[in-house]
Structure 1
Amino acid sequence: MTDVTNAQSFDADPQFGDYYALLKPRVMQLVVFTALVGMLAAPVSVNPVVGFASILFLAIGAGASGALNMWWDADIDAVMKRTVNRPVPAGKVTAQSALYLGAALSGLSVMMLSLSANLLAGFMLAFTIFFYVVPYTMWLKRSTPQNIVIGGAAGAFPPVIGWTIATGTLAFEPWLMFALIFMWTPPHFWALALFMRNDYDDAKVPMLTVTHGRRATRNHILGYTIVLAVLAVGTAFSAIGGWVYLVTALVLNGLFLKGAFEIWRRDEDMSEADNFATERKFFRLSLWYLFAHFVAILVEAALSSFGMGAWG
């Protein structure tokens, strides 16, 4: 964080929508969805009231992380087209307000999740918030091209927390869901970085596209996608998998591998001419990719609850 955050122009009375935007609601939706799948895929049923309250507090914790991220990153958000309209750089909310809101919601969410579910779930939420704000936001994001690789772990914890809400323990299966998100994150964000590279250049964020160039980034996308495909299809043969998941994984990973190969074989001289259409298509596919895999896990959990699970 630089002095930009402290010297910002604050020229409007903040509205409720401005504070809500601080919580990164789109990211929060992904957190809630994957955590809910983790909770429902667990082999232990959860009281609906307890489950609703726990997911709500987890959502608040995710929002707290978003507010703290916007507080710290206000200086680089102000020079990136993708983020310039966020509440802090836009002067709608002060950086100090974002800090106070994020800190307060962090404490509230961890305490209430510990009470509504169990101490392990509360601890894991606290660790996730800490990991996203300190190692990723404050350190990795600005210091290494591996920022999104290591930092992606923060976004991969929600299904593990969801499983912990239901069982109070850890097991092998939620870590498969963790690995699915963890390995999906780099190709997803590197595809975005390929057609938004000028943003990261201007903000001096050492994304792989900036430090190693587009060719290396394309190589990395293909490599990670191959590993992701093996992991995703292999998950079908675990206790949270089944025929529905297997078919879903085979189709989606076939499409994802095809998209990654098309990105890999790109001629750099063509990239500007066609406005990175291939990368944009792959990025949009990546959004559906993760959603569909978790829907398939949810379907398998529902089938298992009726004694119709394919295996496990």
Structure 2
Amino acid sequence: MPAPRLSTRARIGAYVALTKPRIIELLLVTTVPTMIVAERGLPSFWLMACTVLGGTMAAGGAHAVNMFVDRDIDKVMKRTQHRPLVTGVITPRAALTFAIVLEVTAFAFLWATVNLLSALLAVAAFLIYVFVYTLWLKRRSSRNIVIGGAAGAVPTLIGWSAVTGTLDWAPVILFAIIVYWTPPHFWALAIRYRDEYAAAEVPMLPVVESLRRTSARILGYTLLLWALTVGFSPVAGMGHVYLGAAIVLGGVFTWYAVRLLRMPDPQLSVSGGGGAAEVAVQATAMRLFTWSITYISLLFGAMVVDQLLRSGW
């Protein structure tokens, strides 16, 4: 079936939607602060702009391939039924072509304007997201987001290498911070949409494990995340502003995780028939999910403030 006729503006909007722009916001939240830490001040605006633009194109291409592969799942899940490939606004062939062109352009752009290492790291993120997460793990393992989530952590490596041309222990710890942040963040959302993932036969952790085991796993990753953020301070030579923020923000994150763990297990059902207990669990999970976004923004924001104050900017 041919795609419906749309205005140019609407068609551009549909292609933008293929890139999952809300997820790409994480790129800005992690890449620019990482560059500021690597520079010990403000890098050139040109370098920051090129790194963010190239990274945005690379991530957008990966997300478009993900939508191409998962269009059957997106038809089943209510929260994704509005996506362009489900509604027919864009054809699968057009989406895949767009994704490949965007990815090739991103690699060439990063190589030309930043450096080869950053371009190769962007390709690595694409390969992890598409082949490891989307094609291999997502439909087969409850650890899909644990391993596949590494793709979302690569922007920290890209940001560091863009400034220094190399990698070191500091960016590796930043990479690990995002890797360990991703499961609590995503599993909290998956608790809310457990019935939809179950209907789509996607084995997200809350689908195959009880609420208590899922919550315990969330708390475990949160504690490891807290330790990593505090450990980053001496490794990267951060100041008191960042260290204080890491301690306080990690404590709040842990408090939300403990609250979820203490919730009674309502034996969540695919039909959503858990009643008031299920609604309470989902509300608590969504508060944790919302905080996780605030948390990562404030943590990386604290890195910026810390470094700019110490550099006398």
| TM-score of the superposed pair, with normalisation by structure 2 | 0.91
SS in 2 for 1:272: helix
1:43 pairs, out of 39, 45, 53, with 39
Of 290, 295, 298, the residue aligned with 2:296 is 290
Distance 1:248 1:80, change over 3 A: same
Q: For residue 89 of structure 1, what is the aligned residue in structure 2?
A: 86
Q: 69, 73, 76: which is aligned to 1:76? A: 73
Question: Is residue 60–residue 99 contact of structure 2 (8 Å, CA) maintained in 1?
Answer: yes
CA distance in 2, matches of 1:154, 1:175: 13
CA deviation map 1:161-217 (0-9, x unaligned): 011011110111111211111101001111111111011101100111112232221
Is the CA contact (8 Å cut-off) linking 1:180 and 1:231 kept in structure 2?
yes
Structure 2 residue aligned with 1:276: 282
Secondary structure at the residue paired with 1:78? helix
TM-superposed deviation, 1:264: 0.8
Structure 1 residue 210 corresponds to structure 2 residue 203? no
Quote the residue 1:33 is aligned against. Answer: 29
Range 42-51 or range 241-250, more displaced: 42-51
Residue type matched to 2:263 in 1?
R
More helix by share: 2
1:165 pairs with 2:153: no
Kindly provide the CA deviation profile for residues 258-289 of structure 1, in whole angstroms up to 9, marking residues without a partner as x.
11111111101363253622111111111101
Q: Which residue of 1 aligns with 2:270?
A: none
Contact map agreement 1:12 1:91 (CA 8 A) in 2: no
Q: Which residue does the alignment assign to 1:21?
A: 17
Structure 1: which 5+ residue stretches go unaligned? 1-7, 308-312
With over 3 angstroms needed to count, the CA separation of the structure-2 counterparts of 1:244 and 1:104, relative to structure 1, is same
Q: In the alignment, what sits opposite 1:147?
A: 144
Alignment RMSD, CA only? 1.8
Question: 1:240, CA displacement in angstroms?
Answer: 4.9
Q: Amino acid of the residue matched to residue 296 of structure 1?
A: A
Q: Which runs of 5+ in 2 are unaligned?
A: 267-275
Corresponding residue number in structure 1 for 2:233: 236
Q: What SS class does the counterpart of residue 103 from structure 2 fall into?
A: helix
Q: Return the alpha-carbon distance in structure 1 between the equivalents of residues 231 and 167 of structure 2.
A: 20
Distance 1:136 1:111 in 2: 24
1:245 aligns with 2:242: yes
Deviation by residue 1:10-61 (Cα, 9 ceiling, x = unmatched): 4443611111111111111211331111222113764332332232111111
1:221–1:9 CA distance, 2 compared to 1 (3 A): farther
Aligned partner letter, 1:77 = D
**Structure 1 counterpart SS, 2:289:** helix
1:305 aligns with 2:311: yes
